[in-house]
Amino acid sequence: MSQHLSNGYLAQLATEFGTPLYVYHAEKIKEQYAKLTTAFRNSNTVFFYACKALTNINILKYICSIGANVDCSSINEVKLALHAGFPSSRILYTSNGIAFSEIEEAVELGVIINVDSLSNLEKFGVKYGHSYPVGLRLRPNIMAGGNLKISTGHDKSKFGIPVDQIDRILELVSKYNIRISDLHIHTGSEIKDVEVFVKGIEVLFGLIPHFKHLEFIDLGGGFKVPYKDGDVSTDIDLLAEKVNESFAEHAIPGGKPLQVWFEPGKFLVSECGYLITQVNVMKETASTTFVSVNSGFNHLIRPMFYDSYHHIVNISNPEGAEKKYAVVGNICETDTFAWDRPLNEVREGDFLAFYNAGAYGFEMSSNFNSRYKPAEVLVLDGKAHLIRKRDQFEDLLRNQIEVL
Ligand code: LLP
């Protein structure tokens, strides 16, 4: 687990911009991207940032500027990516159970598309035949990922077309002469074990000979990042080695080398982000000392939703004596961030920084309890830029129509 922005600097930002505050460190994103491109330097591999993790337009622009492509999960993400300056050839739209009209819109915008159902594949064939290439999101029936909520490739998952329906896929491809350019799988998030990717490649290699127009295979995202000291992350160098080995062992039909694509979300932006909160209230009870911060699962849902661990640092008192606390939010529902957590002595008014808050932090936030969403700050070249204002009262009424 690495920290790039110092406690003192984070505390200064908290004072300057107020809390709760999301802070992102651009250079950390660049460093993570460089780890990927360095590891895969000897292979024909392209990385698409899974922007569902964090879509602030400045983050998208920055990621575009460092050379990564972008993977989208809604037509609006596609439009944000275009707005950020990605050309359509660098935008991938991996769809899930979407209305066909969204696929039509994506074709009009000229982006790369993966379809994930026989139903949309057939509609695609009827409308576009061979005229527009399309990828297939497949369900490889592999169990992977940090927990069931973020496992997407197993045999009960809604995602992708099950590989056991290959005959039906081939019938449609042949009936409408569909140009399949890519086979895609994404088996889950927080995959530590690189063998999972190898297994996925094995499944795809069994299918590749059926498709004459393939240009790439897409192995999705899901690289694990460290959340606490001693935590392992996906060994990217080993992954690169294994991917190269697998490709060397399998002859590609027609001898045409296939490009390999990945769609990392967390790997690029998890560690760049911090959520800084301020302690409202200390509450001593017979069993527990509660620290109530000015945030909750309305701002960072991961601990309550996935039981995720986020490292927490008392950046106002980093030398204080360690004690154990329950860190909770201030919304009217149980919203425990951490239980029995050793922290440097906490006092009312202290700033607590939550690590690994870049991915699926702000992005999954809400206005629950009619609280404001936090502001966001981007630190780039040593300078802090406000990249989203904190909500204001009018934002809570925006789009509401007062009929009474
Ligand atoms: N590609 C596809 C098709 C995906 O569905 C996802 C994530 C990714 C790539 C990127 O996965 P990553 O590299 O970020 O693990 N909200 C959850 C994670 C859900 C991931 C959903 N799909 C969390 O906070 O843990």
Please return the burial class of 160, using the count of CB atoms within 10 Å of its CB with bins 0-12, 13-18 and 19+.
buried
Closest atom, ligand 1, to C-alpha of 220: 1
Q: How many domains does the chain have?
A: 2
pLDDT top residue among 202 and 152: 202
Catalytic residue, candidates 51, 64, 72, 332: 332
- Residue after which a domain boundary falls, among 224, 251, 269: 269
72 with 154, same domain?
yes
Tens digits of residue pLDDT in 11-47: 999 999 999 999 999 999 999 999 999 999 999 999 9
262 with 365, same domain?
no
User: Measuring CA to CA, how many Å separate 220 from each of 25, 153, 193, 282?
Assistant: 24, 11, 14, 43
Is residue 396 over pLDDT 90?
yes
Is residue 399 over pLDDT 70?
yes
CA distance 249 to 243: 10
250 with 371, same domain?
no
Is 7 a domain residue? no
Mutate to test the pocket of ligand 1, among 36, 51, 52 (most ligand atoms within 8 A of CB): 52
227 with 324, same domain?
no
pLDDT score for 1: 57
72 with 215, same domain?
yes
CA distance 212 to 335: 52
Ligand 1 pocket member 150 (CB < 6 A): yes
319 with 222, same domain?
no
Q: Catalytic annotation on 332?
A: yes
239 with 158, same domain?
yes
192 with 70, same domain?
yes
CB atoms within 10 A of CB 218: 27
Tens digits of residue pLDDT in 326-358: 999 999 999 999 999 999 999 999 999 999 999
Distance 176 CA to ligand 1 centre (A): 32
- Residue after which a domain boundary falls, among 254, 269, 284: 269
Is 83 a domain residue? yes
- Residue after which a domain boundary falls, among 217, 248, 269: 269
Ligand 1 pocket member 263 (CB < 6 A): yes
Is 401 a domain residue? no
100 with 151, same domain?
yes
CATH of the domain at 283: 2.40.37.10
**Residue range(s) defining the domain that contains residue 153:** 26-269
Residue nearest to atom 5 of ligand 1 (CA): 186
pLDDT score for 3: 61
Closest atom, ligand 1, to C-alpha of 152: 5
pLDDT score for 73: 97
Is 19 a domain residue? no
Tens digits of residue pLDDT in 227-267: 999 998 999 999 999 999 988 877 676 677 899 999 999 99
User: Measuring CA to CA, how many Å separate 156 from each of 105, 143, 146?
Assistant: 30, 10, 16
Distance 295 CA to ligand 1 centre (A): 24
Is residue 141 over pLDDT 70?
yes
Is residue 366 over pLDDT 80?
yes
pLDDT score for 165: 95
Q: What is the mean pLDDT of the chain?
A: 95
Distance 151 CA to ligand 1 centre (A): 9
Is 287 a domain residue? yes
Closest atom, ligand 1, to C-alpha of 301: 24
CB atoms within 10 A of CB 128: 18
Q: What percent of the chain has pLDDT over 90?
A: 86
Is 149 a domain residue? yes
Residue nearest to atom 14 of ligand 1 (CA): 265
58 with 177, same domain?
yes
pLDDT score for 322: 98
Is 302 a domain residue? yes
Ligand 1 pocket member 266 (CB < 6 A): yes
184 with 257, same domain?
yes
Distance 291 CA to ligand 1 centre (A): 30
CATH of the domain at 75: 3.20.20.10
Is residue 157 over pLDDT 70?
yes
Distance 181 CA to ligand 1 centre (A): 23
Closest atom, ligand 1, to C-alpha of 263: 9
Tens digits of residue pLDDT in 162-192: 999 999 999 999 999 999 999 999 988 888 8
295 with 147, same domain?
no
Q: In the predicted model, what is the mean pLDDT of residues 196-221?
A: 93
Is 15 a domain residue? no
Among candidate residues 146, 85, 74, the one with its CA nearest the CA of residue 113 = 74
Amino acid at 284: E
Q: Is 9 helix (H, G, I), strand (E, B) or coil?
A: helix
